[in-house]
Structure 1
Amino acid sequence: MRVALLILAVVVGSVIFNFTTPFHLGQIASNWGLIDVTIWITFVLCGLAFIILGILMAWWIYTYQYQPGQLAEYEPEDPVLEGRLTILTTIGVVVMLAPGLIAWNDYIAVPEDAIELEVFSEQWTWSFRLPGEDGIFGYAHNKNIDIIANPMGIRDDDPYAQDDLVIETNIVKVPVDKKIKVLLRSKDVLHDFWVPEIRAKMDSVPGMVTYFWFEPTRTGVFEILCAELCGSSHHAMRGEMHIVTREEYQLWLDDQITWAERKAGVVPLTPVQQLGQTVARDNGCFACHNTTGAAGTPGPTWKGMWGTEVELDDGSIVTRDEAYVRESITNPGAKLVKGFSNTMLQLSDDVTTEDIDALIEYLKTTTPAVE
């Protein structure tokens, strides 16, 4: 009797946990709704089987428990029961498998108008590559990898590779409502690229290129995970996929460096510096300032300004260091550069201290380091 009650408690507890747990699928952010359908069909069928079998087990244990003087009847075979169970099991497997096969067929049938994104995995980080204006990836192979000079193994003399955009951070942006073919490569061991909200995952296998495609359907920031145990820091192999508008995506593309530029020594912006650049753009800073050195703008150019001395409108001389720049951002009229008026607006309350820190880090990049 106690065993039967324990089984019933497990069944009831499992059902309650299912409806109260926070660990459900998040809101989908791609076209792969069919994958959700497949998951739920499997979940419902397996759940019903679990509940029915659990109740039957509890009932059988209670009904056929040991009674003094009562012997069990030995029935080694029941062809009718076996046939029914075989038919029911087959139907259940087909119902669960069919939607998955349909989804898989669509999953690997890449539309012709999809843009390409290469994801390069290694212990324990992600990096990315996009084809340049020619729309063709340059050849890449692990045998060409150099940890410092060529971490993605791009063939140096391939003309198609020179305009490839190289993103050596674990943050990538993709445009909303645009089909994307994801090509996966691995430097070392088996990884698995997974973004839960887009319902897309695929193994990244050393020595081969795997792929899938998806179409983002809503903007947002989504976590990239590795879904294959790949070593001691597997848990830390994370990144971010930003699904953005096409306008923001183009601005982001314009900020990336090409393979040719990287070879020439151009240093890409770090994620913090990229955030600072975004803060400057979103708050209208480039309406008055520039990074080209051009004259005639309402505000001083940012090119080459970091760490230099400048004369203020009261005749004093100050060094444009972090303290000065931070004060000029938060209190624009405190120290005006000679020849410029106080036209800068106060920053929005939405701009955080972290945003200002990032903006300062970006401003440092506008002055080349002196060797």
Structure 2
Amino acid sequence: MTIAIALIVLVVATVLFHFLSPWWFTPIASNWQTVDSTVDVTFWVTGVVFVAVNLFLAYAIIRYRHRKGNKAHYEPENKKLEWWLTGITSVGIAAMLAPGLSVWANFVTVPEGADVVEVLGQQWAWTYRFPGKDGQLGASDANLISVDNPFGMDPNDPVGQDDHLVASPELHLPIDRPVKILLRAKDVNHQFAVPQFRVKMDMVPGMVTYFWLTPTRTGEFDVLCEQLCGVAHFAMRGRVVVDKQEDFETWLAAQPTFERTLMASKGDAEAGKALFTACTACHGAQGEGNRELNAPKLSGQSDWYLVRQLQSFKGGVRGAHEQDTYAKQMIPFATMLADDTAIKNVVAYIKTLPEVRPAASVVGDPVRGRELYQTCTSCHGAKAQGIWATNAPRLSNMSDWYMARQLRNFRDGIRGGHPQDFHGAQMRSMTQILADDATIADVLDYVRTL
């Protein structure tokens, strides 16, 4: 009887939880209301079966419970019952599958005149590409991907010269316009999903998958990777911003074209030398850093990372938190660099500076730190050399006191909270495994051995 009562309570509690639960789908923001309808059908079919089966089990336990003197009736086969069960099961399966197949057919049948955008997934970030005025995307090849060509575009294809490249996890789309989403993965399997749009699709290296949708309301919506893609899978987040048409066009016009990125200066070290003079007062003539002035070592750091950080200081992405005092000090200095060309010139000069090994200032347990650092290797590399493909800077031979402060800032929410700091937000999530300052010291003491 206890089991029978437990089954009945389970059924009643489950039904009540379903109808009274505050957790349900987010308000839909696209044309795919039929996806919700299909899910509702699945809920009703499986829900009815769940209730019927469990209540029947409870009934059978009560009706045919053991009684002294009763003898069980054994019936090895009942063709009539089997036909009924087969028929009812078939109807239930068809009721769940048929709507889904119909919706899927529409999901991959792109209407004529739809806009096009390409989504690129990599560990652990999103980037996007829009066609130019010709409405066509240029050719691309995974073998062409590099620091200077992260989209792997063919520089010899004239069609792709006017493609707009969005090197940010934030995607903008115009409202009430159908758009075909092309999906490409650089490294491993990913899955592009926007819950508010009710859309998701696998991304497989070497393939281009797709679907389409029409955004139906303005706002900001989450982009998630729903395919386990590595240690930072949970932090592979992005954002879709649905704009009015004129706002979208303004945003798109501000995104650089492939032709413009090809023409962009890689930096002039001679020009950067003069600009770096203002930096030497804090960071040193050789970019060796100065702890007394809270200036970290710059020499030896990845040039792409230095460019991004200077851009973040200029744009207010770094130093946005009121407690990030030292980052705030950098903002006016970064603002002295007039544009991206000036930033690249300074970084080009820093790249010419000799390596100087900074003095150790953080003491921990490197043996324990080695174990903790295993989580970090996926992004920063086994030798802490930094990996461009995962947006992870070099850690080895850099200022340990500065890294300790940044890890504390990430962990405490002082850094990585700005809505445009997508990579900082990832680090903010990852640093939650660092329980205290002693743990941080252990990791950095091991990094120093690399």
Kindly provide the CA deviation profile for residues 261-284 of structure 1, in whole angstroms up to 9, marking residues without a partner as x: 1122279xxxxxxxxxxxxxxxxx
Kindly provide the CA deviation profile for residues 75-119 of structure 1, in whole angstroms up to 9, marking residues without a partner as x: 011111111111111111111111111111111110111010000
Kept in 2, the 8 Å contact 1:257–1:266? The answer is no
Task: Give, in whole Å, the separation in 2 of the partners of 1:214 and 1:14.
Answer: 34
SS in 2 for 1:162: helix
Shift of 1:205: 0.7
Task: Give, in whole Å, the separation in 1 of the partners of 2:198 and 2:221.
Answer: 11
Given the superposition, is the C-alpha separation of residues 84 and 365 from structure 1 closer, same or farther in structure 2, using an over 3 Å criterion? farther
Kindly provide the CA deviation profile for residues 322-355 of structure 1, in whole angstroms up to 9, marking residues without a partner as x: xxxxxxxxxxxxxxxxxxxxxxxxxxxxxxx88x
1:216 aligns with 2:215: yes
Given the superposition, is the C-alpha separation of residues 361 and 123 from structure 1 closer, same or farther in structure 2, using an over 3 Å criterion? farther
1:181 aligns with 2:180: yes
User: Aligned ranges for residues 254-293 of structure 1 at < 5 Å?
Assistant: 254-265=253-264
Using the size of structure 1 for normalisation, the TM-score is 0.72
Paired letter, 1:109: T
Shift of 1:20: 3.1
Given the superposition, is the C-alpha separation of residues 202 and 92 from structure 1 closer, same or farther in structure 2, using an over 3 Å criterion? same
Match of 2:189 in 1: 190
Task: Give, in whole Å, the separation in 1 of the partners of 2:186 and 2:225.
Answer: 14
Match of 1:275 in 2: none
Given the superposition, is the C-alpha separation of residues 363 and 106 from structure 1 closer, same or farther in structure 2, using an over 3 Å criterion? farther
Given the superposition, is the C-alpha separation of residues 183 and 97 from structure 1 closer, same or farther in structure 2, using an over 3 Å criterion? same
Paired letter, 1:213: W
Match of 1:105 in 2: 105
Given the superposition, is the C-alpha separation of residues 161 and 57 from structure 1 closer, same or farther in structure 2, using an over 3 Å criterion? same
Kindly provide the CA deviation profile for residues 228-274 of structure 1, in whole angstroms up to 9, marking residues without a partner as x: 1111111011100001100110110111001111122279xxxxxxx
Shift of 1:11: 1.1
Match of 1:156 in 2: 155
Kindly provide the CA deviation profile for residues 125-166 of structure 1, in whole angstroms up to 9, marking residues without a partner as x: 1100001111111101111111x1111211121111111111
Structure number with higher helix proportion: 2
Paired letter, 1:44: W
User: Aligned ranges for residues 247-326 of structure 1 at < 5 Å?
Assistant: 247-265=246-264
Paired letter, 2:140: A
SS in 2 for 1:257: coil
Structure of higher CA gyration radius? 1
Task: Give, in whole Å, the separation in 2 of the partners of 1:209 and 1:116.
Answer: 13
CA RMSD, Structure 1 to Structure 2 (Å): 2.1
Paired letter, 2:121: S
Given the superposition, is the C-alpha separation of residues 365 and 186 from structure 1 closer, same or farther in structure 2, using an over 3 Å criterion? farther
SS in 2 for 1:212: strand
Given the superposition, is the C-alpha separation of residues 127 and 57 from structure 1 closer, same or farther in structure 2, using an over 3 Å criterion? same
Identity %: 40
Kept in 2, the 8 Å contact 1:140–1:154? The answer is yes
Using the size of structure 2 for normalisation, the TM-score is 0.60
Comparing 220-229 with 67-76, greater Cα deviation is found at 67-76
Paired letter, 1:6: A
Paired letter, 1:219: T
Match of 1:18 in 2: 18
1:58 aligns with 2:55: no
Shift of 1:360: 8.7
Shift of 1:68: 2.1
Shift of 1:363: 6.9
Match of 2:43 in 1: 43
Given the superposition, is the C-alpha separation of residues 48 and 234 from structure 1 closer, same or farther in structure 2, using an over 3 Å criterion? same
Paired letter, 2:145: I
Kindly provide the CA deviation profile for residues 14-55 of structure 1, in whole angstroms up to 9, marking residues without a partner as x: 112212333311111111111111000011111111111111
Task: Give, in whole Å, the separation in 1 of the partners of 2:332 and 2:21.
Answer: 43
SS in 1 for 2:75: coil
| Equivalent residue pairs, number | 283
SS in 1 for 2:242: strand
Given the superposition, is the C-alpha separation of residues 365 and 37 from structure 1 closer, same or farther in structure 2, using an over 3 Å criterion? farther
Match of 1:87 in 2: 87
Match of 1:225 in 2: 224
Unaligned runs of 5+ in 1: 268-306, 308-352
Match of 1:300 in 2: none
Structure number with higher strand proportion: 1
Paired letter, 1:140: S
Paired letter, 2:160: A
Task: Give, in whole Å, the separation in 2 of the partners of 1:220 and 1:48.
Answer: 37
Given the superposition, is the C-alpha separation of residues 145 and 95 from structure 1 closer, same or farther in structure 2, using an over 3 Å criterion? same
Given the superposition, is the C-alpha separation of residues 47 and 185 from structure 1 closer, same or farther in structure 2, using an over 3 Å criterion? same
SS in 2 for 1:66: coil
Given the superposition, is the C-alpha separation of residues 130 and 231 from structure 1 closer, same or farther in structure 2, using an over 3 Å criterion? same
SS in 1 for 2:193: strand
Given the superposition, is the C-alpha separation of residues 364 and 91 from structure 1 closer, same or farther in structure 2, using an over 3 Å criterion? farther
Given the superposition, is the C-alpha separation of residues 362 and 110 from structure 1 closer, same or farther in structure 2, using an over 3 Å criterion? farther
Given the superposition, is the C-alpha separation of residues 216 and 266 from structure 1 closer, same or farther in structure 2, using an over 3 Å criterion? farther
Paired letter, 2:221: F
Comparing 21-30 with 211-220, greater Cα deviation is found at 21-30
